[in-house]
Amino acid sequence: MGSFVKSPTEQHLNIDIDKVSQTARFLILSLPDNQLSKLSPFAIEKGLHATGGSPKSVKRLRSGDLLIETASAIQTKSFLLAKKFLDYQLSVTVHKALNSCRGVVSDKELMMASESEIIEGLSTQGVIAARRINIRRGNDIIPTKHVILTFSSSKLPSNITAGYIRSPVKPYIPNPLRCFNCQRFGHSKVACRGQLTCSNCGIAGHSANGCQADPHCFHCKQDHSSDSKDCPQWKTEKKIQEIKIKQNITYAEAKKLISQEKKPSYSQAVKSSLSQNTQTDENITKVIVPPLTKLKPSKVIDDNLHNSDHFPLIISDNRHNSANHYYSPKYVYNAADWQKFSSLADITSAIIDNHTVDEALENIISIIKTAADASIPLAKGTRRRQYKPWWNDLCQQAYKAQQKAWNTFRRYPTTANLIKFKKSKADSRRIQRQSQL
């Protein structure tokens, strides 16, 4: 890949404060001799408020400096113009990464334009850097139509206008950062504190230069080198980068989302706990097989072992319970006798005095409920739709096809549409019969 070419706009960000303030929201505040690390949070909050107002967020970096996110362009300008912070000389710089974003433009017409020409032509649209993606074929480096653009705003535009061409902009998903020293992801060789590890065999103590061992991945322990893009760990890290860019979140937050997507193993789904009496797994009997789950049964664990190693699980089929066939009746407020309700719901101070809060609340609820039952009629409970455990996706699709054919026949009552409706109805009935077997 080629190197980035920076525009004059990016080289003089610290000069044009008005222009920078319109887009920059992340600033780094530093004091001489690392004085910020010696100040209390209360003093820092007071200093921030006096310098430019309370920012949107504040975070202390490892270096001891402060990373702040401003709430507006006016606040950004106030901090950039500030010279003092609690009687200390203040240095404010714009964060290089958080105030910009990168996108990819793919257009054959841009093959004729150099990187400098692209920057100059797109500078009014916020482009501050451009890099063309090159591929290597043997000893040859071949330029492609894909150009990575860096914008001075943290929000990626949906498209750019290059002369007479309007091209869509896609988010640029970088490859995972892998350390060439210890082979781990997330940091570079410059910041590595780990041990030298071979990228070919995955063994610590030597580099890949001259290594004749069989490929063995350091990450997944499979038979490929640690820098292979076929590695499951590399693909996971690539997915983390994609979520991080598209959802505009941190690496840690994206990694947490990925870990939540992974399905738990069988041992995690069925957590074992040994019975104190039998020293056997009492939760084995809690695993319900799929045919039983379709019945939506109620489950109760019997405390009596019945001479078994496991506590038995009592399953009740609720499909034929008459109490579940109707919805609970509801009050008909339009037909209520509110005058009678007001006279019956007589809540006085005597109900509350000399009672605890729970007792007083229970008395009030009881009075209101009694008055409502006497003055507001109840609607007849409607019949609840009965659950069919055999109804599956195929039944649903066949039923929808039948309804669609029926609606078509109603609008256009032709012989052909009638035949289609009868055929779809027969298919739906056949699928329902098969699902009940």
pLDDT reported for residue 284: 47
Q: How far is Cα 411 from Cα 282, in angstroms, rounded to an integer? A: 61
Q: Is 105 exposed, middle or buried (0-12, 13-18, 19+ CB in 10 A)?
A: buried
pTM as predicted: 0.49
**Residues 6 or more apart whose Cβ sits within 8 Å of residue 357:** none
With contact defined as beta carbons under 8 Å apart, do 81 and 30 qualify? no
What is the identity of the amino acid at 319?
R
With contact defined as beta carbons under 8 Å apart, do 129 and 8 qualify? no
Reported residue count of the chain is 437
Mark the ranges of the chain whose per-residue pLDDT is less than 50. 1-15, 270, 272-288
pLDDT reported for residue 5: 46
**Cβ neighbours, 10 Å, residue 270:** 13
Place of tokens 């509801």: 330
Q: How far is Cα 304 from Cα 311, in angstroms, rounded to an integer? A: 7
Q: How far is Cα 275 from Cα 286, in angstroms, rounded to an integer? A: 14
Q: How far is Cα 374 from Cα 337, in angstroms, rounded to an integer? A: 9
Considering only CA atoms, give the Rg of the chain: 35
pLDDT reported for residue 268: 53
pLDDT reported for residue 274: 45
DSSP state of 224: S
Q: How far is Cα 203 from Cα 216, in angstroms, rounded to an integer? A: 9
pLDDT reported for residue 427: 92
Q: Is 199 exposed, middle or buried (0-12, 13-18, 19+ CB in 10 A)?
A: buried
**Cβ neighbours, 10 Å, residue 24:** 24
pLDDT in tens, 410-436: 988 898 899 999 999 999 999 988 888
Of the candidates 294, 291, 295, 313, which has an alpha carbon nearest to the alpha carbon of residue 303?
A: 313
DSSP 3-state of 431: helix
Domains delineated in the chain: 17-94 (3.30.70.330), 101-171 (3.30.70), 189-259 (no CATH), 303-317+383-436 (no CATH), 333-374 (no CATH)
What is the identity of the amino acid at 249?
I
Of the candidates 146, 133, 134, which has an alpha carbon nearest to the alpha carbon of residue 106?
A: 146
With contact defined as beta carbons under 8 Å apart, do 32 and 88 qualify? yes
